[in-house]
Amino acid sequence: MVDAPERSTYVCRLLTMHGHSQEATAWLRSHRGRRIARFVSVSVASTAVSFTAVSLFYGLKMIRGEVDATLVGNLVGAIPSYSLNRRWVWRKSGRSHLRKEVLPFCILTLLGIAFSIVGAAYAHLLIHEHQWSHLINTAVVDGANLASVGVFWILKFLVFSRIFHVDEEAAIDQHLLRSEGPH
């Protein structure tokens, strides 16, 4: 398994690749690079599902409260997130392991939703402090939800990397890096 300092090295490498398209392309072809690209894609998709659900529930007044709409919207987004992360990002198949996969995912999801609820509570305060239109109120609720989701994104990737890790891929990447030698 790759430890935390090595993970941060990969992130730093990605951030400093501006102007180094060949290195960036090679990194994106690595197991870790492809996994991060897939994780980003799943995150964007599940955030879009949550964002749309919150917008519809609150914007169309199907759910009146900011906190309730945020809670339900994020629960809706969590459903495709688990399946896509497990099957596509970490290439797991078969039955899910309750203690090693489902429970940690649920705990992290609930923590993320709890943080989103804090954002929704702040949005509630702002909305009731001002006399904005319902459209602006919806944008404030959506913005608070997006900001909250963003804070948890990196944490989830690091934890999910440990939950769904595949040791062989890290070993292959390390071998490839050593065989390339210094640049």
pLDDT tens digits for range 113-128 = 998 999 999 999 999 9
The per-residue pLDDT for 2 is 47
Nearest CA-CA partner of 147 in 39, 47, 42: 47
Each residue of 27-82: pLDDT tens digit? 778 888 888 889 889 989 999 999 999 999 999 999 999 999 999 999 999 999 99
- pLDDT band of 108, cuts 50, 70, 90: confident
- DSSP string of 92-109, one letter each residue: --SSPPIIIIIHHHHHHH
Highest mean pLDDT among 1-5, 65-69, 87-91: 65-69
Domains of the chain, residue spans:
39-169
- pLDDT band of 89, cuts 50, 70, 90: confident
**Contact status, residue 88 vs residue 38, Cβ threshold 8 Å:** yes
The per-residue pLDDT for 30 is 84
Each residue of 160-183: pLDDT tens digit? 677 666 555 566 666 666 666 555
| 9 has a pLDDT exceeding 50 | yes
Look at residue 151 and give its three-state secondary structure.
Answer: helix
Nearest CA-CA partner of 165 in 94, 83, 86: 86
Instruction: Supply the pTM of this predicted model.
Output: 0.71
